[in-house]
Amino acid sequence: MNNIQIDVRTQYIEDQSRPDKDYYVFAYTITILNKGDQPVKLLNRHWVITDSNQKIQEVRGEGVVGEQPYLKPGEQFGYTSGSVLETSVGTMRGSYEMRAEDGSLFDAPIDEFVLSTPRVLH
């Protein structure tokens, strides 16, 4: 059984953003935990990034942050990356293509999460 848990934390990067130019920078920290019974290797990533204007960016690539982590059962791997939106709110979702030690390929889904600037109270 391929049981991969993916947790996400997001952060708005105010000092790199330029709201007056529709340029909003977000960081996201991903933790991947192998809860399965065999080692797995992360091969590729696929992201669908949607801003509040419904502009969609699709990103595909090898590994994450230049690595293709190998996770034994119970091991985890974490990394931080970023995304730029033209709006102050958006979403990301996607998947990691993984290969189990037995050679089988599977996708580990990444549930949709929100990228948002902090709410300002007046």
Q: CA quadruple 4, 77, 27, 49: dihedral positive or negative? A: negative
What structural domains and CATH numbers belong to the chain? 4-115 (2.60.40.1470)
Q: What does 40-84 look like in DSSP terms, one character per residue?
A: EEEEEEEEEEEETT--EEEEEEESBTTB--EE-TT-EEEEEEEEE
pLDDT per residue as tens, the chain (122 positions): 579 999 999 999 999 999 999 999 999 999 999 999 999 999 999 999 999 999 999 999 999 999 999 999 999 999 999 999 999 999 999 999 999 999 999 999 999 999 999 975 44
Tell me which residue has tokens 């007046």: 122
Q: How far is CA 25 from CA 47, 86, 87, 116, in A?
A: 16, 9, 10, 10
Its pTM stands at 0.92
